[in-house]
Structure 1
Amino acid sequence: MHIILTLLLSFSFLTIHGQQFERDVINTSDGPLTITFIGHGSLMMEFKESIIHIDASSREADYGKLPDADLILITHHHGDHCDPAAVEKIKKESTTTVLTALAEEKLGFGKVINNNETFNYQSVQIEAIPAYNLVHKRDNGDFFHPKGCCNSYILNIGDKRIFIGGDTENTPEMKALSNIDIAFLPMNLPYTMTPEMVADAAKAFRPKILYPYHYGTTDTSIIQNLLKNEKDIEVRIRKMP
């Protein structure tokens, strides 16, 4: 695999077979965690010897050219988060796939964890948090993401707690979180949150680093302005439209 790495403090660019991605390195008590920002809701993490893919989507990258997964996390069954073609390209015989019941129905395999359940992968503890809409609905009146069928995840890696929102709004469960070091919060309409909702959630549970992601055409400067006086919340903007 041909990889070009240009390091600037904890921020870098990773180029794999002509595909360029931004990435950050986070120091944990159990070693460095590298986060690669694939796009939209798709992330890749490297920790120790493991590759973790989250919500892989062929729309965001050619997954046939990305490293194979040791762990795959899928927040829910929608196509931009649960893409069988992308998963097939990174899955190997030993891969562990953690997902929701509806995503398991779509893929035909995987370890289902429901809201409020936990699962341990090696030294990484995974907590499933309810992810759902409070406000935004389809034309027929149904929520885009009804309560009970979608997960957010907390990854406990060393001394760091990383919240992966998936598709959700600023739910009471999210706002009640504590000790979150890094949070990925979705910010696109009509499916997830407005910048105001993201700011409301961030002010409630106060992640040390906030990455807005899955933000489509939303102006990311809005969330930066809404949180500019919250000195203990660092807003980092990466290419995750």
Structure 2
Amino acid sequence: MIKKILLFVLLMTATLVSAQDIIKTKNSSFTLHLLGHGTLYIDYQGTIIHIDPWTKVGNYESLPDADYILITHDHGDHLDAGAISPILKDNTVIIAPSVCKDGLTSFKDVQFLTNGDKNKTPWGNIDVVPAYNLVHMREPGKPWHPKGVGNGYVLTIDGTSVYIAGDTENIPEMKNLKNIEVAFLPMNLPYTMTPEMAADAAKTIQPKILYPYHFGNTDTSKLTELLKGSNIDVRIRDMK
């Protein structure tokens, strides 16, 4: 009951907490709740899909419980057990790469999936795709995000595909992504992409709608300028 009251209060003041965009699907629509940084959740007809929940950008005691939680990798701003616990139900499914095992030992119903895996759900499909660095390194020979370790996800919801890139650069595998309606691309240094890299990735993927996210102090207007005339709807939200 307390959580329902808190959720009602959150919904009544949602514009103060997060941006919300409605995306049309073949037969219906879903709502994107953009909490900040690399964190968001999707509400499709009452099915709640949380992406990289992080306590720094949301009060998870008052956010809707998760039917699915997708974790892209094990860095603390993406794998946060303190954000996961308050949104768990008995049947919540957690999907993560195996590098997250140590951080998820206290949770049941965890599916550890790797690049190339697929998961069919009642609302559509989850395809696991690569997310890694080619250029930016922690130190010589050691990328911030090594190949094969982290996950990106393509969610197909009632025929509409949403690409959650995770922490990645404009990698060659993006050429394999087809018919993406909505894309979330990271754009912060030194960990992911420059605006030029993100623009190159967007031109490769050709989404109808692009959200730069996880962008820190990067000037998002540079990306908008680089994609001028591309017919990509670049939507800037508070996703630092």
TM range (shorter): over 0.9
Aligned-residue offset at 1:102: 1.2
- Mapped to 2, the partners of 1:228 and 1:53 lie a distance apart of 31
Q: Could you list the per-position Cα deviations for residues 13-54 of structure 1 after superposition, in whole angstroms to 9, with x for gaps in the alignment?
A: 825xxx511110011114211000011000011001211110
Aligned pairs (5 A) from 1:33-44? 33-44=30-41
The DSSP-based 3-state class of the residue aligned with 1:145 is coil
Q: Summarize the alignment of residues 193-212 of structure 1 with structure 2, pairs less than 5 Å apart.
A: 193-212=193-212
- Structure number with higher relative contact order (C-alpha < 8 Å, ≥ 6 residues apart): 2
1:4 CA displacement: 4.6
1:173-223, CA deviations, whole angstroms, 9 ceiling, x for partnerless residues?
113311111000000000000000000111112111010000000000000
Query: 4+ residue stretches of structure 1 with deviation over 6 A?
Result: none
- Aligned counterparts, 1:24-173, within 5 A: 24-108=21-105, 109=107, 110-139=110-139, 141-173=141-173
| Paired AA for residue 65 in structure 2 | D
Which whole-Å deviations, capped at 9, do the CAs of 1:70-118 have from their partners, x for residues lacking one? Answer: 1101111111001011011111211111111011331124111110110
Give unmatched runs, 5+ long, in structure 2: 1-7
Amino acid at match of 1:29: K
Which residue matches 1:9?
none
**Does 1:236 find its partner at 2:210?**
no
CA distance in 2, matches of 1:53, 1:120: 17
TM-score where L is the length of structure 1: 0.92
CA RMSD of the aligned region, Å?
1.4
What do the CA deviations read for 1:141-171 (whole angstroms, capped 9, x no partner)?
A: 4100000110100000112110001100000
Contact 1:30 1:157 in 2 (8 A): no
Q: Give the length in aligned residue pairs.
A: 230
- The SS at the match of 1:65 is coil
Paired-residue identity, %: 48
CA contact (8 A) 2:67 2:92 kept: yes
* Structure 1 runs not aligned, ≥5 long: 6-12
CA contact (8 A) 1:176 1:204 kept: no
Q: Residue 219 of structure 1 aligns to which amino acid in structure 2?
A: D
The 5-angstrom pairing of residues 205-220 of structure 1 reads 205-220=205-220
